[in-house]
Amino acid sequence: MVFRRLSAAHSHPLSMSLKTFHFIFIMSAIALALGCGIWELKNYWSPGGRPMDLAVGIGSTLAAVGLIIYERYFLKKLKDVSYL
């Protein structure tokens, strides 16, 4: 049996680049922040809503907007790097 070392050119077929991982991770964080923001805002506007629900809803929505801006900056910065 012959064993070969994998060079940098021969990556594992299931590996993903740091750019792709970062894109997926930040998109997931955006979805989570928006989901929490919408949920908390719905709680605020339902009967018995508390001011804390409004604060958390607005904060989560602003966090999602910040993550969207960051993702655009990151993708623009690494536009010459492949997703593979």
- Is residue 53 one of the residues assigned to a domain? yes
- Is residue 51 one of the residues assigned to a domain? yes
Q: Is residue 68 within 8 Å of residue 6, measured between CB atoms?
A: no
Domain span including residue 60: 37-78
Looking at residues 40-49, what average pLDDT do you find? 95
- Is residue 58 one of the residues assigned to a domain? yes
What token pair was written down for 33? 């922040």
pLDDT, position 1:
54
Using CB atoms within 10 Å of the CB of residue 83, give its burial: 0 to 12 exposed, 13 to 18 middle, 19+ buried.
Answer: exposed
Instruction: Say how many domains are in the chain.
Output: 1
How confident is residue 3, by pLDDT bands cut at 50, 70 and 90? Answer: low
- Is residue 5 one of the residues assigned to a domain? no
Rounded to an integer, what distance in angstroms lies between the CA atom of residue 62 and that of residue 76?
Answer: 21
Q: Is the pLDDT of residue 31 over 60?
A: yes
- Is residue 61 one of the residues assigned to a domain? yes
How confident is residue 58, by pLDDT bands cut at 50, 70 and 90? Answer: very high
Q: Is the pLDDT of residue 15 over 70?
A: yes
Q: Is the pLDDT of residue 44 over 60?
A: yes
